[in-house]
Every structure is written in structure tokens, then in C-alpha cells.
Structure 1
Amino acid sequence: MLRVIKASQQRKISLATLLTGLVSLSVLLTLTILLIASYQSSKKSLIDTTLTLNLTNASKMSQTIDSLFKSMRSSLYKSATFYSNMSSMTEDEIYSNLELIRYSSNYFNSIALVDETGLVRSMSPKSIGSAGKYITTEESKTALALQQPYLSKPYIAATTGRLLVFMSEPIYDMNGTYRGYISGTIYLQEENILNMIFRSNPTDEIGSHFYIVENEGRLLFHQDTNRIGEDISANQVVRKLIQGQSGHEQTVSLKGEALLAGYVKVPANGWGVVVASPIDVVNDQLEQHIGAVLLYMMLPFLMLLLVVIGFARKLAKPFVTLADLVSKIGRDKVEIPEIKQHWNREADLLTKSIRYAISDIKKQTDQLTHEAMTDPLTGLTNRRTLEIIMHQWMEEQTPFSIIIMDIDRFKSINDTYGHQAGDEVLKHFAQIITSTVRPGDVCCRFGGEEFIALISHAAIDEAFLVAERIRHTLEKNIHPIGQPITVSQGIAHYPSHSASAEELIHMADQALYKAKQSGRNQTHIAKFR
């Protein structure tokens, strides 16, 4: 019998061993969860940041190209005006001016002057040898026949064998008679204005690359000059550019490489700019991040593990309670517990510290939530909150009216009195809106000098009266700048006008536009469709 009892005792795990094992396992699991959470959070953050950065870079490059082509078009237009009387100019005068245009602007690799018969009157530089000959390419003939501004697709010139695009501007004499065109050419695979501007591109520093495509998907600019002219219209991002879309997304290149791409359409010429980063860049950064987290966390966790194991027996109960509380943070809504006195001094202090920490986190979270939902200047709700409330009311089938308000000639207030005075005007107008609507209504700064009020359970005529009170109050009130300020307003109603939040805002905005067109300082109601 004694042997059986001893054998049974040997099979039992001691309380100290059990507590030590459980605490050790808890610490290791906590470390693992933190690492997994950190990995997932960092991965999403890095992907979003990379996509946003690539879109921003693509937008900047698109704006640069847009401005460049407007300047190039303006340069050709001025030159066309100058050559309106080319019939009275000598060949030397024509050529000298072409040389001056090419070297002064540095926009084009070559410039040609073609008369209405298709004869190349002059060409800069002369070495091309086209002067005195008739045009032969389809693109040149198209430009001549159109008699209007023209931008060609990429093609190979018959005389030089170069891959190029050209843009032309028609020439009309003083009587309005068509006299030909002046054209500027960009050599795509040689030194040109595009690679002069984008040669030292900052995206290279983070492993990204970029390229420019024309409106049918052919490469116009690429770091690998051998690919220029290649048709990549099968690329998913390029297809969207061809359709006129801009944005950012994860995609796969034609070579099967996973990429994070931002892409933007160029308004001036229909081209597209793509900035892309390999997904491997994000993975490398993640590995570095996790390695740093492990490096910084390993020693504190090991020390914590040793301390917890040493005090496992005496601190079991309070630490289990605290572990349960801490494990809920970030997953469930945590109620801050009342402070209870523990017989153990360290457990008592730790309980109080965690309570204060949770309370502080809750305050910071509440503050961040408030800031995320509020416009910092006026104190009104922001656009994101407005959209959330609109969708909530629509889900609840709550009828409401929307009033869009735009301060008239606000830009002139900023230009005349400065942005600080403009901010005071915005805050003043916000106070007028909030004092006019009911407590349950929603006031929002939609953007810039544009405000929105959501009037719940209000028909169109009731919303119109509210809008008019706001307008009259603003017009008659004492203003920060000492000058009269007026507002134009547009009204739409849910569900009478639309059951879509986006469409409802659009219709109210159209009514606002009508108010602006009709002389400002008035309120218009959206038309029913």
C-alpha cells in the first residue's frame, strides 16, 4: 500500500513545477503573440505606406510631365505665331529661329517647319537631312491633315531609324489661311527632356522603379532603354491607365514579379506614370523589423521570466488575475477594476500601476478617437465621421436633409487678410451653424471653406428654413474681418432625392453650384431626377 502511495506521488507534478511551467509558457506565448501581431501590423503598415508613397511619387511625376507638356505646347504655339508670315522670310532666317527655339528651350531633340504642301522648309539640326524634302511618314501626314495641335504615337523615323514621338502646332497666316505646322521631336532612346528631368529619381533609393507609357500602352520612358517602345498593354496597371484610371494596388508584372504600384494619368497628353516597388522590399524591411524587436525584447523577457518564476508560488493568485486582465487589452473592452489591497507589496503596486496604465491608455484612446472624428480648427465633425453617420442613418431608414454650404469668395479673404483671418472666419461660421441647428443634428467641416449640416427627420422645406437662418445670420453678423461675408448653399433630401450617400452629396453639391452660378448668397434645392 505504501509503495502505491509513493508511486502515485511520484507521478504528480509539484505545485512549484506546475506554476513555473505555466508561467514560463505564458511568457513565451505572450512573446510569440506580440511578434505575430507586430509582424502583421508592420506588414500592413509597410504595404500601405509603400503604396501611398508610390502613388505620391507618381502624382508628382505626372504633374511634372503635365506642366512640361503644357510648356512645350505653349512654346510651339508661340513659334507657330512667329512663323505665320514665313512666306516673307528667307531660309536662313527660318533656320536661325528654329535653332534658337531648340537651344533656348531644350525641350526637343529636333524641330521642323513644314508648309501646307508637306514640304519640310527647314529642320534643326541640319544633320538630319530632311530639309527640302516632302514628309513621308503617316504621323507627319496626319499632323498636316488635321490642321490642329497633334501628339503622335511612338514610331521609328524612316530617315534616321530613331524611335520618337513628336508634337505639332498648326501655322495660320494673318488671313487665317493654313500654312503648315511646326513640330518638335523627342528621341525616346536617346538623351531627351524626359530623362534629363527624371534621371536622378529618388524612388531608386528604396528599390523602386518607374516608367512612362503612352495612351495605348507602349513604353515611352524606362530605365532600361532597350525596352522603350515595347507594348506592355497586357499589364494590369497599364490597362487601368489606358482606361483613364489612377490609383495604387498590389499587382504582378508581365515577368511574374509581385509589385506594389502607384499609377497616375497625365492630363495634358493622356500618358501614364507608374511607380512600382518589389514586394521583396517590404519583406526585407519586415525581417529587419522583427529582428530588431527580438533583439530589444529578448533580454527584458528573459529577465521577466526569471523574476516571475522566482515569485511564482507567492504571487500566483494576483498575477493570474492581472494576466487575465492584460490578455484582454486590445481584444475586448476592458473595464478598469477597483483597487484591491493585496497582502503582497509588489503585487499590490503592480495592480495599481496596471490600473493607472489602462486608465491612461483609455484616455489617450478616447482622445485619439475624438481627434480622428473632429476637425481641429472648427471643432466640428470631419468628413470621415459625416460619412459614417450618413450610412448609419440610412441603415436605420432615418430620413434627413443635407445642406452643403460654401463661403463665397473665401480665397479672396485669405489673399486679402491672410490665412489666419480666414481661419477665424471659418471658426466664426462654424459657431453660427452649431448655434442654428438642433442639438441632435450633425455639423461637419467637409473641406476647405465647405461645410455640411445633416438635419435629421427634416423635410426639404424645413431644411430650407434652417439654411436660410444660417445664411441670414452670417450675412448680418459681426465678422472677424469687418466685412460682409456670405454663403451659398445646396440642399438634398434622403430618401426623396437619392438612397445613396455619394449621390446625395453630389446632388446637394450640384444645387450649391447652381447657387454659385446664380449670383451667390442664396440657397438652392437639388432637382428631382
Structure 2
Amino acid sequence: MNLQSVTKMDLRRLILVLTLASALISLANTLYASYQVQRQQLIDATLESNHAYATKLAASTDDFFASAMQQLGYGAKVMAKDFSDRHFLNAEAERLLLQTDSFNSIVIIDGKGEVLSTSPQSLNLVGQVLETPGAMASITSRKPVISEPYISAVGNLIIFISHPVFDARGRYLGAISGSIYLKRKSILNRLLGSHYYEDGSYLYVVDQKRRLIYHPVVDRVGTTVAGNTVIDDVIAGIAGKKQVQNSMGTEMLAGYSIIPATGWGIVAQRPKSATLASLDTLTLGVLKNSLPVMAISLLIILWCARMISKPLKQLANGARTMDNPLTAQQIQGVKSWYFESAELKKAMLLGIGLLQKNIHKLRQDVQTDPLTGLGNRRTLEQCLQNWEQDETPFSVISVDVDFFKLINDSYGHDAGDLVLKKLAQHMRDCARADDVFCRVGGEEFLILLPKADQQEALQVAQRLRQQIEHADMSPVGRVTISLGIASWPASSHDVAQVLKQADQMLYLAKRNGRNRVEMG
């Protein structure tokens, strides 16, 4: 007795320890999973935001280049009318510089690269022949050109945007170009420099040679960047987003896109630490707010541990009285509020259900022909009794296989059994959903058709006869059947007499040549 008491106490303590451990582990797992999910969401959101911003800024920059080229193109058409008039060229250069703030300077050159006019004139380039990369690219291609960054004739790091000038007969006269200074204030600097945050976020622009076109640290403009996978993607013309280390070794969340007009890459990035800075504080806040609920939960767990024995005892009592018809109802009433007892309850109910199912199966086996799966005489008697009590009219089709003894003698009883099985299946196929099929003898069958008159029964019988006549009954080959029909109460008010009359019609069909249906 004492040993049993100790065992019960140990089980209770074990359940209590496991429950408490489960609760604590679940809480820790929830906090960890929540932290990881929110962390990844913050990273993904920042990457997507930077990618969207870089894409938008790339589109805006591309629009700026298109607008700048359009301005130069219009100026080229105007200057082509009188390209030899220096005063006219000076006026046009001044107009292009002052009309918008697209350029830091305007330079007009002839077909050999000689400077014809500038704005501002303080550049002191008039009369000089430019051999800078931008000027040479413009003269050589005679097409609109956006140059790569280079040091200009007056020492500025610039990009050179130029448009050719052709006269009315299509002769190349020279080019008009606008310069944008990369290390001084310019519209490009303002366009790109608007992205700035105190948390360390910034953007930069890099060209196809890995040189920085724009960087918030001006001294880095014009320098070459290596060992950066984002820039590798940009060089390959790929836009996207990824985590990367910048040149200072800081983990950054970068989104990047390509400027179609130049092939430059715009990279917007934010320190990973800045993105996740608020997450630790948020997690601690969640834990702090969870403590009161956790304390209440532990009290509830203590109470639940004391209550575990109650449903177990009720289930044990039910197990001792499973032979009682009321046991299933008693077990159903047990309040199994935790998993183990609920599983035991379901198992016991399932066991009782299986027991009842087996009993039902035994009863069904008693009423079923084992060879064909059709009903036997018990099924026949039960259906007839129910229909007679309910005054449900019905018809009976008596079925017999023609020359069945010859089949058994010629092919063996196994072949005969196979014929009977196939006949049973054809009976199911030809009859209606509510019809009842019974095997009442060796090769004798009855089909009961509730609420069917003789004409409906005749249709079913003829359909079955024709189907059997043409069916493949291998290894026997073709077989035929004879059928007789009677109805209650049309043929007789005595059910036994109706069955007898169906048999008489069957014998009449055999006497009249077999493979027939007779109806009486």
C-alpha cells in the first residue's frame, strides 16, 4: 500500500516537472521563434525598401539624363542654323547653362575638337583643342554620348554629356556638351544626395569600371571599389538586394539597380545593426509583459497537476466494467482535459466501437452468402417481413443458371463458383440501388425489387438476361439464365405464394427453351 502511494506521488511529481518544463520550453521557443521571424522580416523589409528606392532613384536619374540630352539636342538644332557666329554660340551656351541647372558648364566644339564657346567663359578654353576622353568620344562617335568620369581640362572630375551638331545637309559641324562636376555641387549631386539618414544609411553610385560616381564622402568620389559582391552584380547588369560588407567591414543591407542610360549602379544601403537595433528592446519588452501571464500559467499548471488523477481514475473504473452496456456512455462523460487522458478515452471508446463493429460484422456474416457476397435466406426473410409490415409492394425475380450441372461436370466446381460470382456482379450492375439480392440455392438467386410492378421487374430481368447472354464467363465461355417474375400483392396476397409463383415462372422459362423470362 505504501509502495503504491509512493508510486502515485512520484508520477504526480514527474507530471508536474514535465508540465512546468514544457511550459518554460514553449515560452522560450515562442520568444526565440518570434525574435527570429521579426528579425528576418526587418531584414527583408529593409532590403526590399532599399531595392525599391534604388530602382526609383535609377529611374529618376535616367530621366534626368534623357532630359539633359533632349536640351542639348534642341540646342544643337538651333546652333546648326549659324554655327559660325561666335556671338550666337555664346548666347546659346549661356542660355543652356542658365535655363536649367542641369549642367555645371557648357562647351561647344567644332569637328576637330576646338572650343568655339563656353559658359561660363571663365573656363578660358576658347580656342583650345580638347583631347579629353569626353570630347574625343563625342567627335569619334558623332552620336549623343554620356562619357565615363574623367579629369577635365581645368582639373575637375566630370562626366561629359554631348550631342552632335549637323547642318541642313547632314554635315557634321561639331558638338554641344554639358559637363557635370562630380566633386562639386550639381543637379546630379543633389538628386543622389537626398538619401541620408542619421542611422548610417547612405547610397553611392558606381560605374562599369568600379569607380565611385557619387558617395556621401566626397573624397571617395572617383576612387575604385573592389571586393564587393553588390558591385560585381552591378557590373554584370544585375539589379537586386543582398547583405554585404562595406569597405569598413560593416554588415549592410543593400538594394541596388541599374541606370539604363549609363550602365551605372545605384546602391542604397543601411547598416544591419541599425535595422535590428530596436528588436532587442522589443523582445525584452515582450518578455517583461509576459511575466504576469507566466506566473498565472504556473499556478494553473499546479492545479492541473493535482487534477490529473481524477480523469485517470474514472477511465480505470470504466476499463473494469467494459461489459456493462452503459460503460460507453460513462466514458463519454469523462472530462479529459489533457492529452494523455483524452487519448486513453478515445482508445477506450474506439475499443468499444470496434467490439460493437465486430458484433455487427458477425451478424452480417450470418446473413451473407460467403461465395457471392449476396444476402442469404435470413436476409430474404428479414426484407420480406419488413416490407409486408410496411405494406410496401414488391416484385420478385427468380434466377437460375441454365445447365449449371454440366458446367460443374465439364470445368470443375471452381469454374462453377467463378460463374456464380460473375453472375452476382452482373445482378448488381443491372438492378436498381434499393434492390436486394439473395442466393437461395446452389445456382438459384432471387432479386427483390421494392415498389416495382411486374413491368419494371420485366425490364430489369430482360436487361440481366441479355447482359449474361453476351458476357464473357471465362473459362466456361457463354452461359445463359432463365428468370421468373411474380409480384406482391398483384400475384398473390400471400408472400410465400408469390415466391412460389416466381419459381413456377422460372421453371416455365426452362420448359419453354431456357434463356427466357416468364411472368405470372
- TM-score, L = length of structure 1: 0.56
Question: What is the CA distance between 1:131 and its match in structure 2?
Answer: 1.9
Q: 2:48 corresponds to which residue? A: 52
> Counterpart of 1:198 in structure 2: which amino acid?
L
- Compared with structure 1, are the counterparts of its residues 318 and 220 closer, same or farther at alpha carbon in structure 2 (3 Å cutoff)? farther
Contact 2:134-2:159 at 8 Å conserved across structures: no
Secondary structure at the aligned position of 2:81 is classed as helix
Q: 2:169 corresponds to which residue? A: 175
- 1:22 matched to 2:15: no
Distance 2:173 2:135 in 1: 15
Q: 1:149 corresponds to which residue? A: 144
- 1:104 matched to 2:104: no
Q: Deviations over 1:144-176 (max 9, x none)?
A: 2221111211111232x2111111101001111
Contact 1:52-1:262 at 8 Å conserved across structures: yes
Distance 1:225 1:70 in 2: 25
Contact 1:216-1:233 at 8 Å conserved across structures: no
- 1:238 matched to 2:238: no
Secondary structure at the aligned position of 1:204 is classed as coil
Question: What is the CA distance between 1:251 and its match in structure 2?
Answer: 2.1
- Compared with structure 1, are the counterparts of its residues 343 and 147 closer, same or farther at alpha carbon in structure 2 (3 Å cutoff)? closer
One of 148, 162, 166 as aligned partner of 2:160: 166
Distance 2:6 2:40 in 1: 51
Secondary structure at the aligned position of 2:256 is classed as strand
Worse-superposed segment, 135-144 or 13-22: 13-22
Question: What is the CA distance between 1:134 and its match in structure 2?
Answer: 1.9
Report percent identity of matched pairs: 32
- Compared with structure 1, are the counterparts of its residues 207 and 173 closer, same or farther at alpha carbon in structure 2 (3 Å cutoff)? same
Contact 2:82-2:88 at 8 Å conserved across structures: no
> Counterpart of 1:276 in structure 2: which amino acid?
Q
Q: 2:187 corresponds to which residue? A: 193
Q: 1:380 corresponds to which residue? A: none
Structure 1: any 5+ residue segments left out of the alignment? 320-338, 352-529
Contact 2:311-2:335 at 8 Å conserved across structures: no
Contact 1:19-1:316 at 8 Å conserved across structures: no
Q: 1:121 corresponds to which residue? A: 116
Question: What is the CA distance between 1:9 and its match in structure 2?
Answer: 9.4
Distance 2:22 2:272 in 1: 34
Contact 1:318-1:347 at 8 Å conserved across structures: no
Secondary structure at the aligned position of 2:197 is classed as helix
Secondary structure at the aligned position of 1:144 is classed as helix
Secondary structure at the aligned position of 1:248 is classed as strand
Distance 1:162 1:88 in 2: 28
Question: What is the CA distance between 1:108 and its match in structure 2?
Answer: 0.5
- Compared with structure 1, are the counterparts of its residues 305 and 169 closer, same or farther at alpha carbon in structure 2 (3 Å cutoff)? same
> Counterpart of 1:105 in structure 2: which amino acid?
T
Question: What is the CA distance between 1:10 and its match in structure 2?
Answer: 9.5
Question: What is the CA distance between 1:278 and its match in structure 2?
Answer: 1.9
Q: 1:304 corresponds to which residue? A: 297
Distance 2:288 2:194 in 1: 36
Question: What is the CA distance between 1:233 and its match in structure 2?
Answer: 4.5
- Compared with structure 1, are the counterparts of its residues 317 and 64 closer, same or farther at alpha carbon in structure 2 (3 Å cutoff)? farther
- Compared with structure 1, are the counterparts of its residues 316 and 282 closer, same or farther at alpha carbon in structure 2 (3 Å cutoff)? farther
Q: Deviations over 1:371-419 (max 9, x none)?
A: xxxxxxxxxxxxxxxxxxxxxxxxxxxxxxxxxxxxxxxxxxxxxxxxx
> Counterpart of 2:182 in structure 1: which amino acid?
L
- 1:66 matched to 2:62: yes
Secondary structure at the aligned position of 1:118 is classed as coil
Question: What is the CA distance between 1:11 and its match in structure 2?
Answer: 12
- Compared with structure 1, are the counterparts of its residues 120 and 341 closer, same or farther at alpha carbon in structure 2 (3 Å cutoff)? farther
Secondary structure at the aligned position of 2:83 is classed as helix
Contact 1:109-1:187 at 8 Å conserved across structures: yes
RMSD: 3.0
Secondary structure at the aligned position of 2:139 is classed as helix
Distance 2:127 2:111 in 1: 13
- Compared with structure 1, are the counterparts of its residues 177 and 233 closer, same or farther at alpha carbon in structure 2 (3 Å cutoff)? farther
Question: What is the CA distance between 1:206 and its match in structure 2?
Answer: 5.9
Q: Deviations over 1:167-187 (max 9, x none)?
A: 110100111111110010010
Distance 2:186 2:157 in 1: 12
Distance 2:106 2:333 in 1: 89
Question: What is the CA distance between 1:14 and its match in structure 2?
Answer: 5.0
Q: 2:38 corresponds to which residue? A: 42
Q: 1:266 corresponds to which residue? A: 259
Distance 1:84 1:305 in 2: 89
Contact 1:111-1:123 at 8 Å conserved across structures: yes
- Compared with structure 1, are the counterparts of its residues 25 and 146 closer, same or farther at alpha carbon in structure 2 (3 Å cutoff)? same
Distance 1:52 1:318 in 2: 54
One of 212, 217, 229 as aligned partner of 1:224: 217
Question: What is the CA distance between 1:189 and its match in structure 2?
Answer: 0.7
Q: Deviations over 1:439-483 (max 9, x none)?
A: xxxxxxxxxxxxxxxxxxxxxxxxxxxxxxxxxxxxxxxxxxxxx
- Compared with structure 1, are the counterparts of its residues 59 and 341 closer, same or farther at alpha carbon in structure 2 (3 Å cutoff)? farther
Secondary structure at the aligned position of 1:186 is classed as strand
Alignment of 1:451-490 (within 5 A): none
Q: 1:184 corresponds to which residue? A: 178
Distance 1:118 1:174 in 2: 21
> Counterpart of 1:266 in structure 2: which amino acid?
I
Distance 2:332 2:253 in 1: 52
> Counterpart of 1:175 in structure 2: which amino acid?
R
Alignment coverage as a number of residue pairs: 321
